[in-house]
Amino acid sequence: MTNEPESHSPVDAGAAAAPIDCDVAIVGGGMVGASLALALAALPLRVVVVEAVPPEADSQPSFDTRTTALSNGSRRVFQGLGVWDEIVRSATPIRRIHVSDRGHFGFARLSAEEQGVPALGYVAENRAIGAALWRRLRAGGRTELVSPARVTALETLDDRVVLEVTAEGAAPRRLSARLAVAADGAQSLIRRESGVDAARWDYGQTAIIANVVPERFHDYTAYERFTPTGPLAVLPIADGRCVVVYTLAPEAAEAALAQDDAAFLAGLQERFGWRLGRLTKVGRRVAYPLALTRSDAIEAPRVAIIGNAAQGLHPIAGQGFNLGLRDAATLAEVIAAGLAASPDAGDAEVLRRYVEWRRTDRGALIAFTDGLVRLFGNPFGPVRAARSLGLLAFDATPVAKSALARLSLGFAGRLPRLARGLPLVDVPRAAP
């Protein structure tokens, strides 16, 4: 553990190529990486974040105008990090969830009131989440940011990992850390350079994401509609608008992107139905191919793998970011606990505890999400009938509804402190 300076100001990536020494190097300053950095700011560690695109830049892909569905577990993590009060000001609560299977009789409903919670989740704009995280990081003055810069090489030594960091127009710099964290997405260079492979299963689907304006107010209801072309999610956002995640085969998605607004809305209306009346307007459409990616491991010597670098899920259950945030919360806690025995944040025992703690939650949620895709994509008649009966049985079973509502906290039995809405470490109280 390095001596803690009074404050850490951002590092200018274009400055002279002086070496940097730290305890933890987080590669990737998106929502998961920034959350981990903010959690670690409570510890006596020197933390450096390497990010290719400055967080405040309009071109920052992690903090664009797309939205993320936040579970109640993620709400608690953000409360523990001290940023929820800012995020919730622009977030939209989900008070009801309606699930249906197009062309079949089955449906299921879930309400926050039934579960005794203010909301089942929230929909927040990525830009607002990123702004809240980085505003608090900068206000604390304890996290160093190397940006815009990329890691181009990694070397693992016995007691540290050495990263080569390169900024445009500048000589490479050496960044030496006790622990490197791969938070650099599905194509993670850190994961690859540390010798960890990832499996990828292409679902043969493309998700089109767009904002729409319905004729009727959404009343804070989220819809999950299973159709023969793939699942369709309609989530409530501000001003009565909705964000849609519209899944199609790649060729059909390409054709839908080329349609004018009226034709696109007509196709969407046919698949979704009329629960919100006519869909009157649509915003900019963007498309993403859908696949399940899963790293073979979530650690390597002196490397921890979190977020999309560890797993990328189908959006069918809206749990990908929430799972990645629990990765960050768990890693922060095992690092904090490890400091009591050793100042080495990259100690093998710290990484072993991280892997063990994440095993159940990660494995179960990956299997659950993939199973939903395969179940509701199966065109076999008896399977479709069983789906409908299953949805109706779920709708009539309070215990099943409560179990699904608890899914937002994760499959693991033991939750990290941040996921319980607590700060990472206890702050001593003043004597009375």
Q: What is the pLDDT of residues 148-167, one digit of tens each?
A: 999 999 999 999 999 999 98
The span from the CA of 95 to the CA of 121, in Å, is 8
* Cα 241 to Cα 218: distance, rounded to the nearest angstrom: 8
Q: Alpha carbon of 33 to those of 22, 137, 151: distances in Å?
A: 16, 12, 15
Residue 412: phi, psi to the nearest 5? Answer: -70, 145
| Residue pair 133/51 in contact by the 8 Å Cβ criterion | no
- Map tokens 């409908």 to a residue: 388
- The vertex-360 CA angle with 346 and 369, nearest 5°, equals 115
- CATH superfamily, domain 11-92+120-199+293-380+410-420, is FAD/NAD(P)-binding domain (3.50.50.60)
Which amino acid, residue 213? Answer: V
Average pLDDT of adjacent 10-residue blocks, the chain of 432 residues: 39 58 97 97 96 83 83 93 96 92 68 88 94 93 91 95 90 95 96 96 93 97 87 93 94 96 96 95 94 96 98 86 96 95 94 96 86 59 43 47 58 80 66 36
User: Three-state SS string across 234-265, please?
Assistant: EEECHHHCEEEEEEECHHHHHHHHHCCHHHHH
Three-state SS at 432: coil
pLDDT at 423: 86
Cα–Cα dist 188/308, whole Å: 8
Tokens of 323: 């799972």
Listed by start position, the domains of the chain span: 11-92+120-199+293-380+410-420
Report how far residue 212's alpha carbon sits from residue 351's, in angstroms, rounded to the nearest whole number.
Answer: 44
**CA 115, CA 96: separation in Å to the nearest integer?**
10
> Cα–Cα distance between 398 and 109 in angstroms, integer?
11
Centre a 10 Å sphere on the Cβ of residue 200 and count the other Cβ atoms it contains: 11
For residue 77, the model assigns a pLDDT of: 95
Neighbours of 388 (CB within 10 A): 16
The average confidence (pLDDT) of the chain is 85
Nearest to 29 by CA among 135, 147, 172, 180: 147
Cα–Cα distance between 403 and 356 in angstroms, integer?
23
CA 423 – CA 170 distance, rounded (Å): 39
Cβ atoms within 10 A of the Cβ of 283, count? 15
Q: 3-state DSSP call for residue 286?
A: strand
Give the model's pLDDT for residue 318: 80
Q: What is the pLDDT of residue 345?
A: 97
> What pLDDT sits at residue 162?
97
Half-sphere exposure of 174 toward its Cβ, with a 13 Å CA cutoff?
8
Label the pairing between strands 47-50 and 20-27. Answer: parallel
User: Please, what is the end-to-end C-alpha distance for the chain in angstroms?
Assistant: 33
CA–CA dist 328, 321 (Å, integer): 11
Q: What is the pLDDT of residues 277-289, one digit of tens each?
A: 999 999 999 999 9
Tokens matching residue 93: 């609560």
Q: Which of 374, 48, 114, 94 is nearest to 237 (CA)?
A: 94
